[in-house]
Chains A and B, each alone.
Chain A
């Protein structure tokens, strides 16, 4: 059974750096094809891919956010960490951690972590 859980701050100030951690179980990021990513959803709005990392350390970033993002994995802890620099109020959203296999759909989601950017 695959589960994912996000952890991190609920409030950050403008210009600060956001760090979110996804802790997962039920699969390993050392297994060929496995991937973990982040999708965000502003309040009342649609979903947007942010970043994904795969078993072979291949990383993909949203083109519009790429300069601000870093995604890393710690396979010994079954964790994926997302950092986003220079946070702005428009980045206010629920950030979901999710599982996908390479070239496939998202099949498991975490419960989400609402991040508000405000001074």
Chain B
């Protein structure tokens, strides 16, 4: 089973600042990597698939990069609605394992 790790655990950012979240896979997952945003009491929402392709309706301030084992989600200018937990997930191999999440909170 592929193990996904994320860093940092918590990221404190001021509105308008840039946030950079990292995700690492224990073995190569090619570009089969998705990012999800989850707010309290809600299901996750797909942000990015294929490591760098924004899902429909996702603002351009969200961008993804990486391939193989190292991936990054960047939020260029944090808005109030972006404070949430972010999960990465590989879907190269079954089961499509998730990372433990990064919580982005207000500094």
Contact = CB atoms under 8 A, between A and B. Distances in A.
Interface of A: 46-49, 60, 62-63, 96, 100, 103-107, 109-112
Interface in B51-107: 55, 87, 89, 91, 94-101
A109 B44 CA distance: 7
B100 A46 contact: yes
Given A46-B99, A49-B97, A96 B89 contact: no
B22 interface: no
B43 A110 contact: yes
Contact of B89 (A62, A103, A105, A111): A105
A103 B50 CA distance: 11
B43 A107 contact: no
Contact of A104 (B49, B98, B101): B49
B1 interface: yes
Interface of B: 1, 32, 34, 36, 42-46, 49-50, 55, 87, 89, 91, 94-101
13 contacts: A47-B44, A47-B89, A48-B98, A49-B97, A63-B1, A100-B91, A105-B34, A106-B44, A106-B46, A106-B89, A106-B91, A109-B44, A110-B43
A7 B93 CA distance: 29
B46 to A, nearest CB: 5
Contacts of A106: 34, 36, 44, 46, 89, 91, 96
Pairs of residues from A and B, 3 with the lowest C-beta to C-beta distance, nearest first: A109-B43, A105-B34, A49-B95
Given A109-B43, A111-B43, A112-B43, A103 B100 contact: no
A23 to B, nearest CB: 16
A46 B101 contact: yes
Nearest to B50: A105
B91 to A, nearest CB: 6
A46 to B, nearest CB: 5
B85 to A, nearest CB: 9
